[in-house]
Amino acid sequence: MATVTDTPIRIGVMGCAVIARTVSRAIDLAPNATIAAVASRSLEKAKTFATANGYQQSVKIHGSYESILEDPDVDALYIPLPTSLHVEWAIRAAQSGKHILLEKPVAMNVSEFDKIVAACEKNGVQIMDGTMWAHHPRTAKLKEFLFDSDRFGQLKNINSCFSLAVDEDFLKNNIRVKPNLDGLGALGDLGWYAIRAALFANNFELPKIVAASPGTVLNESGVILSCGASLSWEDGRTASIYCSFLANVGMEITAVGTNGTLCVQDFVIPFEETQATFTTCLKSGFNDPWVSRPTEHSVKTEIPQEACMVREFARLVGEIKNKGAKADGFWPNISRKTQLVVDAIKESVDKNCQQISLSGR
Amino acid sequence: MATVTDTPIRIGVMGCAVIARTVSRAIDLAPNATIAAVASRSLEKAKTFATANGYQQSVKIHGSYESILEDPDVDALYIPLPTSLHVEWAIRAAQSGKHILLEKPVAMNVSEFDKIVAACEKNGVQIMDGTMWAHHPRTAKLKEFLFDSDRFGQLKNINSCFSLAVDEDFLKNNIRVKPNLDGLGALGDLGWYAIRAALFANNFELPKIVAASPGTVLNESGVILSCGASLSWEDGRTASIYCSFLANVGMEITAVGTNGTLCVQDFVIPFEETQATFTTCLKSGFNDPWVSRPTEHSVKTEIPQEACMVREFARLVGEIKNKGAKADGFWPNISRKTQLVVDAIKESVDKNCQQISLSGR
């Protein structure tokens, strides 16, 4: 952990997306990070964003992305740019020696992400994606239960979904439905989380086979608005995921193991900021399934999950900056695996739900 | 409803399966039905069952299935025999003028069930399958919500699962894993309910396409122990189902519509006998998904859901017996549709997850 004498990691916000508001607040709340700068394609836009988000006077305002890359008072960049711009700007950030907190999906495809990671490795910078729920203390508790061979046993199936109904304006104008901006649509924006949950429950082992489910909905540009998929692993482990911009909120995980069951109703964004719950159910009987009733567990968090994310990112950056540590490999590794599954589902969607083998990827 | 002056419908229990205990109690609890007889392949077994279940002295004990068919004091039969025996004994029951409450899955395939239904029609007897949850007053409330165009809007996706972990002895010896007895395995025994839920939420419209998910687990005789499937309808409606004998209890429905979300944690067998709950969540915002929090609803029931089922069955039989009504077509129609989807998933499993079109079936 960062000690109190360490200087907070100075983070620059590169792009003024809506999500950047949440992360700006998170940077403020994280004890080991501070907002140092903000950049937009126009100085005006960056200024407006800084004011709207109550940035301190000391925060530098940049009128171009190039300019923030050259700012010597910035250690790391938070990059919430449209996905299609990630490969260019994340690589340039790495080349400028900036550590990177990159919004998800991390790239348009895994080969782009591999280029980003190569640039980060070459320049000794940390990269982590913006999957907030991974950093909530609840997630550590979920992991504890899922990998408890007594209480949960071996995983058999996990179902995870993330849907949010958007409005007409979003469906026409939002970058998330534009093929040249966030061309992975709902799969990249929402499915990312559901896939991550499936991988998380499988200890980040890649599935053997991925198949899109029939019934994908595309917009007129071919961008996914809604889709589902099935994943399968060795030993009969399976997962199904669902994501949609067209359906009301759903953000569930249901995982069944040989001995236990886990349910989470709000895994992506908890109902409350200061605590989050999950339900477990222990060994049932065939003729009396509720011999053991579901139990609700509650996990408190000092700071919101997005601030936990920033704290972890800044901690890793601090290790490199202050102690000469090597960049951590866990986070980019799971980003890559998530992207691989996104890519495979997209490929299956494009091939009429054909089964895609992930062997060797 | 049966009036108090109507004689209760006299039901014979044909086969002493474990589930027959539950239904015996249900017949007792239903105000318009009474247990009149019980049959097993041996008089001894039937006697033991009658005693173990506290049957009154007046209940006739039959040492063969043929014998109960000829009993003039039996109006209707509850048939919990292994699925492979349904086609023979349900047809013989119909030919003997007995109304039929038939355990699910109703047959090994839809063509067998069509023969059963034809025999029932020819003989003017009622048939209904043993899907208990359909009769819980909660189910009527779920329907109200799902078909409320304001609160729920149009269905987009439903996920339903039913898993129960069985023991080693079950996996070796239970009829549910024997190809010549309940050859549909977990798909017929548990998947039946999940499929029914998907059809229920789609107002019993058949899906266009059904595809098994990769990762089906079969036993050494080729009987399904665990599988999943995806279903898709016109207008981008989709469903995913999961069933397993190998995973701990799960019996969830999550349905997302354009405006609302429905969650049920215990749809097959409620946690409690006298009431059951479900959760709804109304219109969410993209940037504030929990602008409206989930609300829990509770629905009381005077008698357990299985007794509600018997009551509804006896009511329909009473209409025929006492008022000369025609047999009701709703229940066999939805049994048939459920069986059709069971068959299609089985076919897809056998064809390496190929998409099966239900057009024209």
- Interval A211-229: pLDDT, tens: 999 999 999 999 999 999 9
Cβ distance A267 to A299 under 8 Å? no
Judge if B159 and B282 occupy the same domain: yes
Query: Does residue B255 form part of some domain?
Result: yes
Judge if B168 and B144 occupy the same domain: yes
Judge if B123 and B145 occupy the same domain: no
Percent of chain B with pLDDT over 90: 93
Residue with tokens 């999550």: B254
- Residue B266 DSSP one-character state: B
Tell me the pLDDT tens digit for each residue of B86-96.
999 999 999 99
Range of B87's domain?
Answer: 9-132+316-325
CA nearest to A259 within chain B: B248
Chain B residues whose beta carbon lies within 8 Å of the beta carbon of residue A145 = none
Cβ distance A290 to B266 under 8 Å? yes
Question: Which band of pLDDT confidence, cut at 50, 70 and 90, is reported for residue A2?
Answer: very low
Average pLDDT rounded to a whole number, residues B190-204:
98
d(CA B309, CA B9): 13
Residue A107 belongs to domain with CATH number: 3.40.50.720
Chain B residues whose beta carbon lies within 8 Å of the beta carbon of residue A256 = 161, 163, 244, 247-250
Of A215, A230, A289, the CB nearest to B269: A289
Query: Does residue B287 form part of some domain?
Result: yes
Interchain proximity A153–B248, CB inside 8 Å: yes
Judge if B190 and B257 occupy the same domain: yes
Average pLDDT rounded to a whole number, residues B258-283:
97
Query: Does residue A3 form part of some domain?
Result: no
Of B153, B228, B258, the CB nearest to A238: B228
For residue B39, the distance in angstroms to the closest alpha carbon of chain A comes to 22
Tell me the pLDDT tens digit for each residue of A29-68.
999 999 999 999 999 999 999 999 999 999 999 999 999 9
Nearest to A102 by CA among A111, A110, A93: A93
Query: Does residue A62 form part of some domain?
Result: yes
Judge if A285 and A160 occupy the same domain: yes
Query: Does residue B331 form part of some domain?
Result: no
- pLDDT for B3 equals 52
Round the average pLDDT of chain B to a whole number and report it: 96
Cβ distance A266 to A256 under 8 Å? no
Tell me the pLDDT tens digit for each residue of A236-250.
999 999 999 999 999
Question: B270 preceded by cis ω (within 30°)?
Answer: no
Tell me the pLDDT tens digit for each residue of A102-145.
999 999 999 999 999 999 999 999 999 999 999 999 999 999 99
CA nearest to A356 within chain B: B214
Tell me the pLDDT tens digit for each residue of A264-287.
999 999 999 999 999 999 987 788
Chain B residues whose beta carbon lies within 8 Å of the beta carbon of residue A247 = 156-157, 256-258, 261
Percent of chain A with pLDDT over 70: 99
Per DSSP, the three-state class of B27 is helix
Greatest Cα pair distance in chain B: 67
CB-based contacts of A329: which residues, under 8 Å, 6+ apart? none
Judge if B291 and B321 occupy the same domain: no
- pLDDT for A292 equals 86
Average pLDDT rounded to a whole number, residues B296-300:
98
Is it the case that residue B271 has pLDDT exceeding 60?
yes
Judge if A165 and A272 occupy the same domain: yes
Nearest to B191 by CA among B219, B215, B212: B212
Residue type, A143: K
d(CA B269, CA A288): 9
- Residue A53 DSSP one-character state: T
Tell me the pLDDT tens digit for each residue of A196-211.
999 999 999 999 999 9
Catalytic residue among B60, B104, B321, B346: B104
Tell me the pLDDT tens digit for each residue of A168-200.
999 999 999 999 999 999 999 999 999 999 999
For residue A118, the distance in angstroms to the closest alpha carbon of chain B comes to 33
- pLDDT for B286 equals 81
Please give the helix or strand (H or E) that residue A121 lies within, else none: helix A110-123
Interchain proximity B284–A249, CB inside 8 Å: yes
Question: Which band of pLDDT confidence, cut at 50, 70 and 90, is reported for residue B2?
Answer: very low
Count of structural domains within chain A: 2
Query: Does residue B332 form part of some domain?
Result: no
Chain B residues whose beta carbon lies within 8 Å of the beta carbon of residue A283 = 165, 248
- pLDDT for A47 equals 96
- pLDDT for A156 equals 98
Question: B105 preceded by cis ω (within 30°)?
Answer: yes
Average pLDDT rounded to a whole number, residues B59-82:
97
Burial environment of residue B114 by CB neighbours within 10 A (0 to 12, 13 to 18, 19 or more)? middle
Judge if A294 and A148 occupy the same domain: yes
Is it the case that residue B1 has pLDDT exceeding 70?
no
Is B104 an active-site residue?
yes
* B95: number of Cβ within 10 Å: 14
Tell me the pLDDT tens digit for each residue of B223-248.
999 999 999 998 899 999 999 999 99
Whole-angstrom CA distances from B65 to A116, B39, B92, B154, B329 are 72, 6, 10, 47, 26
Average pLDDT rounded to a whole number, residues B348-361:
95
Is it the case that residue A3 has pLDDT exceeding 60?
no
Percent of chain B with pLDDT over 70: 99
Judge if B122 and B142 occupy the same domain: no
CB-based contacts of A230: which residues, under 8 Å, 6+ apart? A210, A211, A213, A238, A239, A240, B213, B214, B215, B228, B230, B240
Is it the case that residue B108 has pLDDT exceeding 60?
yes
Query: Does residue B310 form part of some domain?
Result: no
Residue A221 belongs to domain with CATH number: 3.30.360.10
Token pair belonging to A95? 């080349």
Judge if B118 and B162 occupy the same domain: no
CA nearest to A266 within chain B: B290
Q: What are phi and psi of A352, to 5 degrees?
A: 55, 45
Of B213, B271, B281, the CB nearest to A230: B213
Of B230, B252, B258, the CB nearest to A248: B258
Rounded to two decimals, the ipTM of the complex is 0.95
Interchain proximity B286–A217, CB inside 8 Å: no
Judge if B61 and B155 occupy the same domain: no
Question: Which band of pLDDT confidence, cut at 50, 70 and 90, is reported for residue A6?
Answer: confident
Supply the angle between the helices B137-146 and B192-201 in degrees, to the nearest 10: 40
- pLDDT for B5 equals 60
Query: Does residue A2 form part of some domain?
Result: no
Judge if A193 and A205 occupy the same domain: yes
